[in-house]
Chains A and B, each alone.
Chain A
Amino acid sequence: MSSPFLSVENLSKSFGGVQAVSQVSFELEENKVLGVIGPNGAGKTTLINLLTGFVRPDTGKVLFKGQNLAGLRPYKIANLGVARTFQMVKPFYQLPAFKNLVLPLRSPRARHLIGGRYGDLDAVAKDLLEEVGFERDSWVIYKHASVLPHGYLKRLELARCIALSPELIVLDELFSGLSLAEVASLVPVIDKLKVQGKTIIMVEHRLRELFRIADQVVVMNFGQKIADGKPKEVMEQQSVREAYLGSEEEEGGDA
C-alpha cells in the first residue's frame, strides 16, 4: 500500500482565542486500535469532530486511504467508511431500539454494501443489536430508546456506528458512565470488530481497559500531541506523567 490507511497532517482548529487542536499529526495503520488520551479539555473530542467532519479544520489534512476528508460534510465522510459514536449518547428517542438502526442502514453506503434497497432492514438491525450485546428476541429491542437505561444506549450508539459497515470506527468515550461489568462485556465486542479487520480510534479515560485493547496511543494536552507510540512506551515518558499528575484526582480515579 502506497499511502497509509489514515494520516493526519498538521491539523489545527481554534475556537475564538482558544487553540483547541494545534498542529496534530499522526499515522495509523489498517486494522490497528489507536487510543487517544489526555486530561479534560485537551482537545480529544475536537480532534474526533475534525476527523468526522462535524467541525471544519482551520488548517491541515486528514488523509483516509489517500483521500482528504478535511472540509467534507459529516454524511459524506460517513459514506466513505468513517463512522463515529458520540460521547453524549444521541439515540432517536421516539423510535424503538431496533428502528434506530434503520437510519444508518438506509444510508447510501449501507444500501450499497447490503445490496438491494428493499431488503429486510429490520432483520439486519436485529442482527446488529445482537452483535453489540442486546439479547435477541428480548423485549428490550422493541422498547423506545427514551426508556432504555444508559448502558443499552451506549450499545445502541455503537450499533448505529457499525451499521454503516465502516472501515474506520471512531469511538468517543464509549466506556464513560458505564459500570465495570458493562465495560467488561463491551471489550469483547471491540475485540471482535478488530478481528473483523476494522480500524478503531478510541478516546478514553479508562486507561486500564484501553491499554489492553490499544496498539498505539496518542497523548494530547492543551491541544497538542505530546506523545505517540506503543502504550507502555508512552506511559514511561516524563511529559505524559506530568500531564496526568497535574490532574491526578480527576483523571486517575477511574483508571
Chain B
Amino acid sequence: MAKRLERLDRGIKVRSDDIFALNSWREMLYIIAPRVLPVLLLLVVGVWASTYWQRVIMQVCMIGLLAISWDLLAAVGMVSLGQALFFGIGAYIAGVLNHYLGMSPWLTIPLATVGGAAVCTFLLLPVLRLRGIYFSMVTLILPLMIERIIEATKVFGGTEGLSGIESLPQGMTELIAAMVVVWIALFSFTRMMNSDYGLILKGINDNDRAVMSAGLNIYYYKAQALFLSSGVAAFAGAFITHAYQFVGMPVFALDYSILPIAAAAVGGMGTLAGPLLGCFILVPMNELLRGLGGMRTVIYALLLVVFTVGLPEGIFHYIKRKYTQFERWVEVDS
C-alpha cells in the first residue's frame, strides 16, 4: 500500500473577501506569537550575553540588514553579488563625515543612509536595464573596483583607512539601536512587499514585459527598490563604522557580498525573514568556530553544504510550512 503525505492549511485564516476573521485569543496568539517571540528572545539573550557576545549580536543585526537588503532586491529580480558596494559606500560616507567634518554619529548615520542610497542608485542606474546574470556581474565588479581606486589614489586614508572615528554609546544603547532597526526594517519591508506596491515589484520579477504592457515604468520602480535596498545596506555600513571606530578598504571586501547570499540560501529566499534567520545561524557559528583556526572555513563550508542539500527550500520556509499546515500520511490505492 503506497502512502502519501497530505497537507492541510490550518483553518485560522478564514477568508471572507479580504478580512481575516480572528475568533479567539488562541487564534490571535497563533498569528502574533511567531512575530513577537523572536523579538523578545533576541532582547533577553542580548541583555544577558557577555560584552563579547553582545558585539556579535550587534554584528549579526548589521549583516542581517545586508541580507534583508539583498532579499528585497532579489524579490524585484535583481540578484546582487555586490552588497559590499552598498555597505562600503555607507561606511565611507559616515567615516568621512565624522573624520573630516567632525559630525556626530546621530547625524552621519542618517546622512550616510540617504546619501549612500542615492550614490548607489546613481551608480547602478545605467545597469538597471540589464537582467539576470548581467546585473549580477556588474554589481560583483563595482565594489572590487572602488577598493582598487582607493588603493591607487590614496583618498580617504588609502590602504590605512580612517581610524579614530567617534564611537556610538557603548554597550546596551548600541545593541538595542541595532535590534530596533533590524525589526523595523524586517516588518516594514514585509508589509510593503504584501501591499499593492509590493505586488508591482514582484510582478517585475515575474514578468517585466507584462508590467510594461500594464502601463508601468519598470525602471522607475526598479530604481525605487534599489534606493530602498541600498539605503538599508548603507545604514549597516555606517553603523559598523561607528561601532568599530574605523573605516577602511575591507568594507568593500567580498565577504560582505557573499555572506548575505549564504544567509539567504540557508534561511530561505523571498521571505526577508529567512535571510535574517540565516544570519542568526551563520554569523554566531562563524564566531564559535573561531578557535579552530584554519579548519574553521572547512567546517563552515561543510555546514553550508549540509544545509543547502538537506533543506534546499531554506529553514524559514520549512518552519513556516510546519507551523501553518497539518500533515498526515494517507493511504493511496493504486
Contact status B199-A75, CB under 8 Å: no
Q: How far is the CB of B78 from chain A (nearest CB, A)?
A: 16
Contact of B18 with A by CB under 8 A? yes
- Given that A75-B216, A75-B217, A110-B215 are contacting pairs, would A103 and B199 also be in contact in the complex, using a CB cutoff of 8 Å? yes
Contact status B212-A74, CB under 8 Å: yes
Contact of A57 with B by CB under 8 A? no
Could you tell me which B residues sit within 8 Å of A by CB distance? Answer: 15, 18, 196, 199-200, 202-203, 205-207, 209-218
**A83, B213: Cα distance in complex, Å:** 7
Contact status A142-B207, CB under 8 Å: no
- Given that A92-B207, A93-B206 are contacting pairs, would A84 and B213 also be in contact in the complex, using a CB cutoff of 8 Å? yes
Contact of A19 with B by CB under 8 A? no
Cross-chain contact of B214 among A93, A103, A121 (Cβ < 8 A): A103
Could you tell me which A residues sit within 8 Å of B by CB distance? Answer: 52, 54, 73-75, 78-79, 83-84, 86, 90-95, 99, 102-104, 106-110, 121-122, 142, 160-161, 163-164
**A253, B169: Cα distance in complex, Å:** 78
Give me 15 other A-B pairs in contact (C-beta within 8 A), A52-B213, A86-B209, A142-B15 excluded: A54-B209, A73-B212, A83-B213, A83-B215, A92-B202, A92-B206, A102-B200, A103-B200, A103-B216, A104-B215, A104-B216, A107-B215, A121-B196, A160-B214, A164-B215
Q: How far is the CB of A229 from chain B (nearest CB, A)?
A: 30
Specify the main secondary structure of chain B where it touches its partner. helix
Cross-chain contact of A104 among B18, B205, B209, B214 (Cβ < 8 A): B214
CB neighbours of B210 from chain A (8 A): 86, 90-92, 103, 160
CB neighbours of A121 from chain B (8 A): 196
Instruction: From B199, B200, B209, name the one whose CB has the most chain A CB atoms within 10 angstroms.
Output: B199
**A54, B212: Cα distance in complex, Å:** 9
CB neighbours of B206 from chain A (8 A): 91-95
- Given that A86-B213, A92-B207 are contacting pairs, would A106 and B196 also be in contact in the complex, using a CB cutoff of 8 Å? yes
Instruction: From B203, B213, B217, name the one whose CB has the most chain A CB atoms within 10 angstroms.
Output: B213
Q: How far is the CB of B168 from chain A (nearest CB, A)?
A: 40
CB neighbours of B200 from chain A (8 A): 102-103, 106
CB neighbours of B213 from chain A (8 A): 52, 54, 74-75, 78, 83-84, 86, 90, 160-161
CB neighbours of B202 from chain A (8 A): 92, 94-95
Q: How far is the CB of A64 from chain B (nearest CB, A)?
A: 15
- Given that A121-B196, A122-B18, A142-B15 are contacting pairs, would A103 and B212 also be in contact in the complex, using a CB cutoff of 8 Å? no
Contact status B215-A75, CB under 8 Å: yes
CB neighbours of A161 from chain B (8 A): 213
**A91, B213: Cα distance in complex, Å:** 11
Cross-chain contact of B212 among A75, A106, A109, A122 (Cβ < 8 A): A75
Minimum CB distance partner of B15 in chain A: A142
Minimum CB distance partner of A146 in chain B: B206
CB neighbours of B211 from chain A (8 A): 103
**A88, B76: Cα distance in complex, Å:** 22
- Given that A106-B196, A122-B18 are contacting pairs, would A79 and B215 also be in contact in the complex, using a CB cutoff of 8 Å? yes
